[in-house]
Amino acid sequence: MNLLQLACVVGARPNFIKMAPLLRALGAYPQVAVTLVHTGQHYDAKLSDIFFEQLGMRQPDVHLEVGSGSHGQQTAKILERMEQVLRDGPAAGGSFDRLIVVGDVNSSMAAALAAAKLQIPVAHVEAGLRSFDRAMPEEINRIVTDAIADLLLVSEPAGVENLTREGRSADEIHLVGNVMIDTLRDQLASAQALNLVSEYGLVPGGYAVVTLHRPSNVDCPQTLRGIVEVLAQVSEKLPCVWPIHPRTQARLTDCELDQLLERASAIRCLPPLGYREFLCLVSQAKVLVTDSGGLQEETTALGVPCLTMRENTERPITVEQGTSTLIGGDTQALSRELDAVLAGTYKRGTCPELWDGKASERIARIVVGEE
């Protein structure tokens, strides 16, 4: 039996969440051999190791250990080291038949480029998403990765429309659903079994969760201060839990906002959490305030109101059908929508079609040629 040799690449927190169910689905096919490559884009144990453990992912076969650096430095290291991995081929000998990348981080784009230079076909999971904001590094990564890939695996109808408008043929595009929701549904029961909510002195449906990391929110002192002031005000009526990204913590300190947060005793600041711990908190929250793309999707699946601190989104279905509202940097709008959540007048959302926990199974069938 000839093995289908696949190289699957992860590098950052969102990649692990998306790749875990896909590895399980591919593992059901004896004719498939997977080499898992970790670029090391996220290397902190709290942003990397804990996700492998909680998501039940096997350890990577190859670790590129690229670490941090500027976008150019990081991309160059991944490209150089990934090219060598692909040239060497899988451990069993021979060559790789396909590279699979997920999402829109530097690791995904650089690995896809390395494969393209070696004429190895590329599958892109979460293809076609567009914010139409090229100031976002992720947008450039999406566009480049999609241009390279010949197998475009799409999570929502807007992605199909974008790719079609960009001239991609229908036989390259497959609407498969959302692999992040596969992981969410797989992990939800064990996450909610954790005792974190009561441990933090909270009650289900009686608190907000906050997560911010994008430069548009945390790099501008005025914007960051405005957000913190609104959160401090709302915390008097609705306690807030804020797992703070290391980059955001540095900005809070630089802007001398630590003391304001200390005075707001109902805002509980935490270090980054594991996937399961974070899902425990978000799934039982009254509202989420975030600038994360993936969390717009997860809250939509969970039915939790999501106030998105961005001017645009590459996931429009979460606004059109789901629970997300784009706030941008408008702190007055943030305060107004938080009031609507507290008053019970915030919009209701629905979970999109194909966000059913079976996207990875559909992808595996396509990759092995059964569909």
Active site residues: 213
> Are the CB atoms for 163 and 128 separated by under 8 Å?
yes
Contacts of 231 by beta carbon, 8 Å cutoff, 6+ apart: 208, 210, 240, 242, 264, 267, 289
Which of 164, 154, 95 has the alpha carbon at shortest distance from 129? 154
List % helix, strand, coil for the chain (3-state, nearest 5): 45, 15, 40
Specify the amino acid at residue 260: L
Which of 184, 186, 141, 126 has the alpha carbon at shortest distance from 39? 141
Task: Please return the burial class of 65, using the count of CB atoms within 10 Å of its CB with bins 0-12, 13-18 and 19+.
Answer: exposed
> For 134, phi and psi rounded to 5 degrees?
-80, 0
Task: Please return the burial class of 340, using the count of CB atoms within 10 Å of its CB with bins 0-12, 13-18 and 19+.
Answer: middle
* DSSP designation for 348: P
Contacts of 1 by beta carbon, 8 Å cutoff, 6+ apart: 30, 31
Helices (H), the chain: 13-26, 49-54, 71-88, 106-117, 137-148, 157-165, 179-192, 196-199, 215-218, 221-234, 246-254, 258-263, 275-283, 293-302, 317-320, 331-343, 359-367
Residue written as token pair 């969440």: 17
- Token readout for 323 is 């629970």
Which of 5, 311, 368, 336 has the alpha carbon at shortest distance from 139? 311
Residue written as token pair 């960009």: 166
Q: Could you give the strand order of the β-sheet that contains 122-127, starting from the edge strand earlier in sequence?
A: 62-63, 32-38, 4-10, 98-102, 122-127, 151-154, 173-175
